[in-house]
Structure 1
Amino acid sequence: MGNWFSNAEPPPPMVLVPPLFDFPPLAARTRMLESSYNLLFGKLALRCLFEDYFEEARHFSTRIMLKPIDDPHVDLVATVSGPLDHKPNENIVGNALFRWQSDIYDPHTFMDLFVSNTDPVLLVRVSSEDYGVMGLRYGSSNLSIGATVMPFSLADEFPKSAWLVSKMGRLTAGVQYEPHFGSKGGTRYNNLENWSCAIGYGLGSGSPLSPSFNFGLELARSSQFIASFYQHVVVQRRVKNPLEEKEVVGITNYIDFGFELQTRFDDSKTSSPNADSSFQVAASWQANKNFLVKGKAGPLSSSIALAFKSWWKPSFTFNVSATRDRTVGNTSFGFGIRVDNLREASYQRADPNFVMLTPNKEHLAEGIQWKHGKRPMLQSDVESGNFDGIPMELRPLGRIL
């Protein structure tokens, strides 16, 4: 009996493939309320990189995101935030957003109900003037055209916004119209300050487990030039973790990097020297399914954020951030707590070399050449398998553009 067990083949080596901390980001839930121009050219990814888990200095925030098990068509997002040291002019702010979605596999049709202690009015949709917004768009894998109007607004703004975006291979170009300047009538359309245009080059991906990058150039309102770059890298490194089984030889990590440079060239309309140009750069590293570190720097301040996540049902995330204000020379801290059971962290590999073993994303490491004895080992791409699985919030993929 003992010899029979001793001749059994050892288990094959495995590589851990953890889920991303937050994918899709919470901002993707409301992307149908935004124009395709605002969502492309890496803007959504850069917004999440520069803002997520960076708390306001000397402030705290809590967020609860829940979906009932018995009815997946509805969910609730509630937030509470405020200062750590009470000040007379600062109060604790609480918001709640209730959503009903007709098709859980197609998030393009939904209804939101929003309440807040800072606004006594119960709103079905929030806009700059508390008016209803209606829109029409056409979207495909290569073209997006649409417009939004405010039919009940007393202001002479028609349309509220309009855009045209086209994609040709790795090249994306688009133009957007938003009336803010000019008098009534056709003069708004002739005012270049109401128009913005952008061009981007990059390699997009339908899954966060595949690398992607985007470089964009934008001329905003004929007065501001914006250059941005965002890259998402998937790497694998060797691990020797005594808490894991001995057949676990590696783990997948996710590294994100981005920068944004803004400069103005209409000096006559600039009110302060600091508004002439600005830049910010940020990077994040997810070491495993539980730990994330981020950092960003700008001309006036620098920040670092640490986040720890437990993948229970629901999941709990605790984050702390430190901000160094170089103008006054002090460092301030912020804290945040999140509870979430909205997102489903499940990804499938299409390559047959990978076989799903357990729900914690452990896969067979066949097809990966691990060099034992040399640490760390990095790979710029996951060589075996193209991660085609995308979560429900981004389906159907052909309508994203």
Structure 2
Amino acid sequence: MGMGNWFRNWWHKEPPPPMVLVPPLFDFPPLAARTRMLVPAYDLLFGKLALKYLFEDYFENAGHFTTSMMLKPIDDPHVDLIATIQGPIDPKNPEAIFSNASFRWQRDPYDPHTFMEVSVSNSTNILCLRSSAYYPKYGIGVFAVLPLLAQKRVLSENFGVTGLRYGSEKLSIGATFMPFPSTDFPRNAWAVGRMGRLTAGVQYKSTLESKSPERFDDIKNWSCAIGYGLGLNSPINPSYNFGLELVGGTKLISSFYQHVVVQRRVKNPLEESEIVGITNYIDFGFELTSRINGSEPSKSLEASNIQVAASWQANKNFLVKGKLGPLSSSAALAFKSWWKPSFTFSITAVRDHLVGKTAYGFGIQMENLREASYQRADPNYVMLTPNKEHLAEGMLRDLGKRPMLQSNLISGNFDGLPQELKPIDKIL
């Protein structure tokens, strides 16, 4: 009798609950996040970092190419090397090609706040040392950018910059100084605070080489911004951010960025039968810059500018991006193979509205800094339209796998996820 019940239970074994694939983002966290401790927090908040990725990454210049290698030794995850070559596709002289390489040591492979980086380049700063140290217990960080060899030392920045900062979840303050004799003290200072979904900040950036205290009274040296945002800084969480910034009393910048997580049905013969859908990422952003002359805003193209961009990641291999502007428009297609190392190929079409011509740019990237693969998610969290799959249990029964659950993500528990899907840390 017992054997018969076991046979019937085995024969009528319930299939595993349906799952939805969650692909890794093409580049998360963005490479710019690796050196964000060298940059004032004011320059990265208010959606600026996300908009920079949306408006610039994989958009190659017309008639130009970019080749980059980002490699990490297998035996030492604390160091890596990034080398880049950029230039025109048909250069008339070798000097038009820009190349640089940087060797980086990072104390924690998953914490980019404490590192030391040596870079070489054929541009202005031939040899440069960049370093940062952050102590999370006290929220204090120090950083420095020191050009050791430079072609010309005309500006004060060519002699190096050092800085001190404090950062927590609610407040970021800091200042930068010149390590060598300079008339600017400080060179830059900022203060940014967060209260709920609202972020506000002010920044002083000296534009005058003067010891006079009057430079602090010059509105051209001051900027202020306010932003309203919602959502965790993770690819699997939808988010949006709206920002307003007044720069020097002469320029107003308004921006909007939204990251949308959507699902579509998919039948992939290479996946298990319980896979019923796949997650897609859609990003949209716009930025409007208006010059203010006295009380009348200027309407000329030179004084104001607007750009709109959108991107769609269909899976872990394909990314489509488009960007519109008054002077030119661009479309980019990128393909990424997640081998070890991974390869990314991109092509960009740039339409010049003034001359009515289209030119193309190309990019090739090789990388083994990030290792990512598809994850499984509970359809109760990701499926948008109610159906039978929507009512499935949120736990895999075969092989002891556990999918991502909505309750964990809402509570901020990302411990079971790979580093590529976790949010960037909450330090402001």
After TM superposition, the structure 1 stretch with the greater mean CA deviation from structure 2, 360-369 or 14-23, is 360-369
Spell out, residue by residue over 1:10-66, the C-alpha distance to the aligned partner (whole angstroms, 9 max, x if none). 232111000111000111111001001001000010011000000010111111111
Question: Aligned residue for 2:344?
Answer: 317
RMSD: 2.9
After TM superposition, the structure 1 stretch with the greater mean CA deviation from structure 2, 383-392 or 114-123, is 383-392
After TM superposition, the structure 1 stretch with the greater mean CA deviation from structure 2, 300-309 or 124-133, is 124-133
Q: Which runs of 5+ in 1 are unaligned?
A: 346-358, 375-381
Give the deviation of 1:134 after TM superposition.
1.4
2:118 corresponds, among 86, 108, 113, to: 113
Q: Secondary structure at the match of 1:29?
A: helix
Question: Aligned residue for 1:350?
Answer: none
Do the aligned partners of 1:181 and 1:193 also contact (CA within 8 Å) in 2?
no
What residue identity is the alignment partner of 1:360?
Y
Do the aligned partners of 1:53 and 1:321 also contact (CA within 8 Å) in 2?
yes
Spell out, residue by residue over 1:138-168, the C-alpha distance to the aligned partner (whole angstroms, 9 max, x if none). 111111111010121x431111100000101
Do the aligned partners of 1:253 and 1:286 also contact (CA within 8 Å) in 2?
yes
Query: How far apart in 1 are the matches of 2:215 and 2:341?
Result: 50
Cα distance change of structure 1 residues 205 and 120 upon mapping to structure 2, 3 Å threshold: closer
**TM-score in terms of structure 1 length:** 0.86
**TM-score in terms of structure 2 length:** 0.81
1:151 corresponds, among 146, 154, 179, to: 179
2:263 corresponds, among 230, 236, 247, to: 236
Question: Aligned residue for 2:136?
Answer: none
Alignment partner of 1:221 is 2:248: yes
Cα distance change of structure 1 residues 233 and 369 upon mapping to structure 2, 3 Å threshold: closer
After TM superposition, the structure 1 stretch with the greater mean CA deviation from structure 2, 43-52 or 109-118, is 109-118
Cα distance change of structure 1 residues 143 and 4 upon mapping to structure 2, 3 Å threshold: closer
Alignment partner of 1:173 is 2:178: no
Aligned residues: 379
Q: Secondary structure at the match of 1:37?
A: helix
Structure 2 counterparts to residues 30-109 of structure 1, below 5 A: 30-88=35-93, 91-109=96-114
Query: How far apart in 2 are the matches of 1:33 and 1:52?
Result: 20
After TM superposition, the structure 1 stretch with the greater mean CA deviation from structure 2, 259-268 or 157-166, is 259-268
Query: How far apart in 2 are the matches of 1:7 and 1:185?
Result: 85
Q: Secondary structure at the match of 1:249?
A: strand
What residue identity is the alignment partner of 1:219?
L
Spell out, residue by residue over 1:245-270, the C-alpha distance to the aligned partner (whole angstroms, 9 max, x if none). 332111111110000000011279x9
Give the deviation of 1:118 after TM superposition.
3.3
Structure 2 counterparts to residues 123-272 of structure 1, below 5 A: 123-125=128-130, 129-152=157-180, 154-181=181-208, 183-266=210-293
Give the deviation of 1:371 after TM superposition.
5.4
Query: How far apart in 2 are the matches of 1:217 and 1:396?
Result: 23
Structure 2 counterparts to residues 215-364 of structure 1, below 5 A: 215-266=242-293, 273-345=300-372, 360-364=374-378
Spell out, residue by residue over 1:285-342, the C-alpha distance to the aligned partner (whole angstroms, 9 max, x if none). 1111111000000001110000111111111111111000010000000110111111
Query: How far apart in 2 are the matches of 1:13 and 1:111?
Result: 46
Give the deviation of 1:243 after TM superposition.
4.0
Query: How far apart in 1 are the matches of 2:202 and 2:294?
Result: 24
Do the aligned partners of 1:106 and 1:393 also contact (CA within 8 Å) in 2?
no
Cα distance change of structure 1 residues 191 and 384 upon mapping to structure 2, 3 Å threshold: same
Do the aligned partners of 2:234 and 2:424 also contact (CA within 8 Å) in 1?
no
Do the aligned partners of 1:13 and 1:366 also contact (CA within 8 Å) in 2?
no
Q: Secondary structure at the match of 2:290?
A: strand
Percent identity of the aligned residues? Answer: 62
Cα distance change of structure 1 residues 204 and 39 upon mapping to structure 2, 3 Å threshold: farther
What residue identity is the alignment partner of 2:106?
Q
Query: How far apart in 1 are the matches of 2:117 and 2:421?
Result: 15
Q: Which runs of 5+ in 2 are unaligned?
A: 1-5, 131-144, 148-154, 390-404
Query: How far apart in 2 are the matches of 1:373 and 1:105?
Result: 39
What residue identity is the alignment partner of 2:99?
G
What residue identity is the alignment partner of 1:320?
I
